[in-house]
Amino acid sequence: MSDASARVESALALALAGACGPGAPPRLAAAMQHAVFPGGARIRPRLCLAVASACGDPDPALSDAAAAAIELIHCASLVHDDMPCFDDSMLRRGRPSVHGAYGAPLALLAGDALIVLGFETLARAASSSASSSASSGAWSGASAGSLADLVLILSRCSGMPGGIVGGQAWECEPCVDLAAYQRAKTGALFAAATMAGAAACGRPHEGWRVLGERLGEAYQVADDLADTLSGPQEIGKPGGQDALRGRPNAALQLGARGALARLETLVGEAIASLPACHDPDALRRLVLIEVQRLLPKDTVLRAA
Amino acid sequence: MSDASARVESALALALAGACGPGAPPRLAAAMQHAVFPGGARIRPRLCLAVASACGDPDPALSDAAAAAIELIHCASLVHDDMPCFDDSMLRRGRPSVHGAYGAPLALLAGDALIVLGFETLARAASSSASSSASSGAWSGASAGSLADLVLILSRCSGMPGGIVGGQAWECEPCVDLAAYQRAKTGALFAAATMAGAAACGRPHEGWRVLGERLGEAYQVADDLADTLSGPQEIGKPGGQDALRGRPNAALQLGARGALARLETLVGEAIASLPACHDPDALRRLVLIEVQRLLPKDTVLRAA
């Protein structure tokens, strides 16, 4: 396990330990654990930590908390998406979804509790960072500004109008704004991951938005490619679902070769957008490795 | 409308305007508005502002945000409680519940978005308060510490283990811890209201917990009294539901006279707990008026 992956798992375990400790109703505690462990690729929190490292990572506990908060919101959105009133999916990552294992009431509550836990995790880390760093007991300007920025970044990527919840809500509208749908449902959390990585370091974060947005779109295109090119063994679910269900799919619209070209353009734009930072080369390499991991086997990305 | 009520409505309108503005999916925006307006008694946010006033209210915009955040979490919990997987209630406050008016998917999303909006509202106010107050652009110790405290207060009263979500989860357990259930489901948000009022003023908030807890319990007893003593016209729903459904009810356990005595004890403890503050007399009067409002007609509280 890479250093970043170990940090993500340990930050998530720390957050869950606080929420699911003594006095917690046991079934909801188990449902929350089920929603978070074992995880998927943890791509968003690792991206958050990669940006924090590129920014010097002066307060690793706060960066860890930011990464965990991003992943908790992601897990919450999967739990609520799987519920009967949306996808009604009994399976997630090859095992029962939270709703499949614990029923709808606990899935509803687990999602709610994970959203709340994301914000609590940020405040808890900012709070202990402030009390340990300043001998005077006063807040330093950096960690204080960071917390407001982090809470705003997390709330905007999660809520209304432009976050995951807003994105999901387009599925309930008679007229869908497709660009807004994809931007909010997938792009917002990727952009939050890169921006939160910078904000946790007390750095201006707006310049990191494009990196996250382009990688979020690349992730979507890679997912579309996987849906059209892969067999069920590779992606853990039947391929060709988008064509069957008439969902928008870049690989169906552009062809596999066109989608791959689009993905290469997006990765190029992502890398070109990198703001001045401590270690841009390491971040550039990491972006290429991450995107390659998303692609179906035998599909090679040309170095951007 | 009292000054406090006007402040609460205006802070809620401001919060909703940000979430439901241009680019928002229209049906979810409407569902969120439906969940928040028109409101009920707004007792929690008015209590928050009363404590802030008693603490001198040095940053009214931050106090308003704290009060609004508390009420947004309360509204979110009502929306999710009314969903088919819990109470399956088509009515709320004498008109369609969010689920009744907009369906389960939008009720799920509206609750999620209102939770997120609670935290966003705090960070937005803390952020503009910091940028407007400090000519240097740096965060003042007070507003920075306040934001971390406010986010922690709001998350703990909402989430796991001791917040509303944790409380609701006891309904899904085979063995219910009744005290933990009531403390988390009703008491936590009242305690958060009083503590957030102090925290928004940059004051130590722990000493305000007992006031909120006792008033939360008094609210529960008053609700139990109303259920047993009132006719449907007075409380907007059929009385005697607790006896019918075998739910715990203080007025059934202690008798009406015993429940009233219990309520007077709680109010006395609440008032005795008041920490040193700017204007304790005004707060004491307000507590008595508020509790009297909760009681069925012709039931008079002896001044504590």
Among candidate residues A196, A198, A185, the one with its CA nearest the CA of residue A247: A185
Choose among B223, B275, B269: nearest CA to B248. Answer: B223
Three-state DSSP class for A91? strand
Whether the CB of A133 is below 8 Å from some CB of chain B: the reply is no
Q: What is the rounded average pLDDT for all residues in chain B?
A: 89
B163 touches chain A (CB under 8 A): yes
**Per-residue pLDDT tens listing for chain A (304 residues):** 689 999 999 999 999 999 999 889 999 999 999 999 999 999 999 999 999 999 999 999 999 999 999 999 999 999 999 999 998 999 998 899 999 999 999 999 999 999 999 999 999 999 988 777 654 444 555 565 699 999 999 999 999 999 999 999 998 998 887 788 888 988 999 999 999 999 999 999 999 999 999 999 999 888 888 888 765 555 555 667 777 777 778 888 888 889 889 999 999 999 999 998 888 898 999 888 888 888 777 777 775 4
Give yes or no for a contact between B160 and A20, defined as CB atoms under 8 angstroms apart. yes
Min CA distance, B76 vs chain A (Å)? 10
Q: Residue A158's closest chain B neighbor by CA?
A: B116
Nearest to A139 among B103, B119, B141 (CB): B141
On whether any CB of chain A is under 8 Å from the CB of B162, the answer is yes
What pLDDT, on the 0 to 100 scale, is given for residue B134? Answer: 54
* Residue in B119, B165, B173 closest to A155 by CB: B119
Task: Give the mean pLDDT of B72-81.
Answer: 97
Q: How far apart are the CA of B125 and the nearest CA of chain A, in angstroms? A: 9
Identify the pLDDT of residue B98: 98
CB of A155 less than 8 A from some CB of B: yes
Q: What is the mean pLDDT of residues B299-303?
A: 70
Interface test with B, best of A155, A157, A164 (most B CBs within 10 A): A155
Which phi and psi angles does B72 have, rounded to 5°? -65, -40
What pLDDT does residue B137 have? 46
Q: Which residue of A has its CA nearest to B105?
A: A85
Q: State the pLDDT at residue A303.
A: 56
Stretch (H or E) spanning A291: helix A280-294
Picking from A139, A172, A180, the nearest residue to B27 by CB comes out as A172
Q: Do B126 and A104 touch (CB under 8 A)?
A: no
Average pLDDT, stretch B264-278?
92
Q: How far is B296 from chain A (nearest CA, A)?
A: 33
User: Would an 8 Å CB–CB cutoff place B40 in contact with chain A?
Assistant: no
Can you tell me the distance from the alpha carbon of B205 to that of B198, in angstroms, rounded to the nearest whole number? Answer: 5
Decide if A23 touches B, using CB distance below 8 A.
Answer: yes
Percent of chain B with pLDDT over 90: 62
Are the Cβ atoms of B148 and A127 closer than 8 angstroms? yes
Across the A:B interface, residue pairs with CB atoms under 8 Å apart total 219
| More confident: B295 or A171 | A171
Beta bridge partners of A96: A91
Residues B1-24 have pLDDT tens digits of 689 999 999 999 999 999 999 889
Provide the pLDDT for residue A278.
83
B257 has pLDDT over 60: yes
B121 min Cα distance to partner chain A (Å): 9
From the list B26, B103, B155, the residue facing A173 with the nearest CB is B26
Model pTM above 0.90: yes
**Interface probe, candidates A79, A109, A131, chain B, greatest B C-beta count within 10 A:** A109
Residue with tokens 């409002």, as numbered in its chain: B293
Q: What confidence score (pLDDT) does residue B136 get? A: 45
CB contact under 8 A, B165 and A109: yes
What is the model's pLDDT at position A137? 46
Query: CA of B168: which chain A residue's CA is closest?
Result: A109
B220: closest CA of chain A, how far (Å): 21
**Chain A CB within 8 Å of residue B147 CB:** yes
The three-state (H, E, C) secondary structure of chain B, written as one string: CCHHHHHHHHHHHHHHHHHCCCCCCHHHHHHHHHHHCCCCCCHHHHHHHHHHHHCCCCCHHHHHHHHHHHHHHHHHHHHHHCCCCCCCCCEECCEECHHHHHCHHHHHHHHHHHHHHHHHHHHHHHHHHHHHHCCCCCCCHHHHHHHHHHHHHHHHHHCCCCCHHHHHHHHHCCCCCHHHHHHHHHHHHHHHHHHHHHHCCCCCCHHHHHHHHHHHHHHHHHHHHHHHHCCHHHHCCCCCHHHHHCCCCHHHHHHHHHHHHHHHHHHHHHHHCCCCCCCHHHHHHHHHHHHHHHCCCCCCCCCC
Give the mean pLDDT of B265-269: 93
Comparing B246 with A162, the larger pLDDT belongs to A162
B15 CB near a chain A CB, below 8 Å?
A: no
pLDDT at B297 over 80: no
Would an 8 Å CB–CB cutoff place A87 in contact with chain B? no
For residues B31 and B92, give the distance between their C-alpha atoms in angstroms, rounded to a whole number: 13
C-alpha gyration radius of chain B: 19
Token pair, residue B100, equals: 């009744």
> Would you call B101 an interface residue with chain A, using a CB distance cutoff of 8 Å?
no
Q: Which residue has the higher pLDDT, B144 or B114?
A: B114
- Residue B251's pLDDT band, with cuts at 50, 70 and 90, is confident
Categorize the per-residue pLDDT at B226 as very low, low, confident or very high, splitting at 50, 70 and 90: confident
Query: What pLDDT, on the 0 to 100 scale, is given for residue B235?
Result: 54
Given CB atoms, is A163 within the 8 Å cutoff of chain B? Answer: yes
pLDDT for residue B135: 44
B180 touches chain A (CB under 8 A): yes
Query: What value does the mean pLDDT take over residues B72-96?
Result: 94
Question: Under an 8 A CB cutoff, do B151 and A117 touch?
Answer: no
The architecture CATH gives domain B1-161: Orthogonal Bundle (1.10)
pLDDT at A135: 45
Tokens at A120, concatenated: 């609590």
Of A19, A103, A144, the CB nearest to B161: A19
What are the residue ranges spanned by the domains of chain B?
1-161
- Check residues B302 and A284 and name the one with the higher pLDDT: A284
Share of chain B above pLDDT 70, in %: 90
Contact between chains at A166 and B141 (C-beta distance less than 8 A)? no
DSSP-derived secondary structure for A117-159: HHHHHHHHHHHHHHHHH-TTSPPPHHHHHHHHHHHHHHHHHHS
Please name the residues between 233 and 262 in chain A that touch chain B, using a CB distance below 8 Å: none
Report the pLDDT averaged over residues B85-92.
91
